[in-house]
Amino acid sequence: MNIFDFTKNFPDEESCILHFKAQRDQIGVVCLKCGGKQHYWLKNKLSYECKHCGARQSLRSGTVMEHTKLSFLYWYIAMHFLTISKKSFSSSELQRQLGHKQYQPIWELANKLRDVMGKRDEIYSLSGQIELDNAFITTLIAEEQKNESLKRGAGSQKQSKVVVMTESKLVDNPHKGSKAKRVNHIKMQIINDMKADTVTNIVKEQVDSQAELTTDDSTSYKKLGEHVKSHDAQVVKPADLPKMLPWVHIAIGNVKRLLLDTHHQL
């Protein structure tokens, strides 16, 4: 569906509600209290009422839209966005398109949709506070390359350079002694070189423009500030890295351990 078809089919809140209700009716509405399947439609309350026991449930109940107050039209526009976007889909861009004042509700909407649409990993755009670093990680190489390498006396593994990014959110009431941040999402990508353009392109595609980025002061990262809200490039001694970029180093450690475990099983 292109943008013209979309606006023709869903010009307003009413049309989205009608469409959404039709979808639900087709699947069938089941009473949460007695399991009854016959319902009255209460148009003014946007709710179903069970013909058997009178229990009510809203049109949004049990759907991805449950617990939000955002309009149906918002959800439909967001779904359309998510369906047509080939690459990274940023919450701040959606917020801009919708002309919505607050970022948080739109961010939550986009995340819920990514979950239900199964697109989280492919086009998830990292946002909030992000740590970025690179590491060498042992990876297995393809069979055909392996034979070639073995002839030259190399093993069946190689060291790959990867860019690792972690997205973390501040936790309201952290338990005593635990870290005040929580990691939501981790992305890793193998890269051929550490040129500034290579790393910059990855950030451009995978990080939201409203994100706050922390890295060390490597020249590979010098252009990143142009694509995010803020970029904190810290001068750090290697020994201090786990302190300055804690999450990304925990992630790198976990991946290395995971790969080691895999090798043990082979």
According to the binding rule CB under 5 A, does residue 31 interact with Zn ion? Answer: yes
Q: Which is nearer to Zn ion, 36 or 225 (CB)?
A: 36
Complete edge-to-edge strand list for the sheet that includes strand 56-58: 39-42, 47-50, 56-58
According to the binding rule CB under 5 A, does residue 161 interact with Zn ion? Answer: no
Task: Say which amino acid occupies 64.
Answer: V
Report d(CA 41, CA 34) in Å as an integer: 17
CA angle 205, 211, 250 (to 5 degrees): 90
According to the binding rule CB under 5 A, does residue 211 interact with Zn ion? Answer: no
* Size of residue set near Zn ion by CB under 5 A: 8
According to the binding rule CB under 5 A, does residue 34 interact with Zn ion? Answer: yes
Q: Which is nearer to Zn ion, 34 or 150 (CB)?
A: 34
According to the binding rule CB under 5 A, does residue 30 interact with Zn ion? Answer: no
User: Tokens 């699947």 sit at which residue?
Assistant: 27
Q: How far is the CB of 28 from Zn ion (least distance, A)?
A: 14
CA 129 to chain centre: 13
Which parts of 50-89 interact with Zn ion (CB under 5 A)?
A: 50, 52-53, 55
Q: Which is nearer to Zn ion, 52 or 256 (CB)?
A: 52
Q: Which of 19, 30, 36, 255 binds Zn ion (CB under 5 A)?
A: 36
Q: Quick count: other Cβ atoms within 10 Å of Cβ 192?
A: 8
CA angle 250, 103, 110 (to 5 degrees): 70
Chain residues that interact with Zn ion, rule: CB under 5 A: 31, 33-34, 36, 50, 52-53, 55
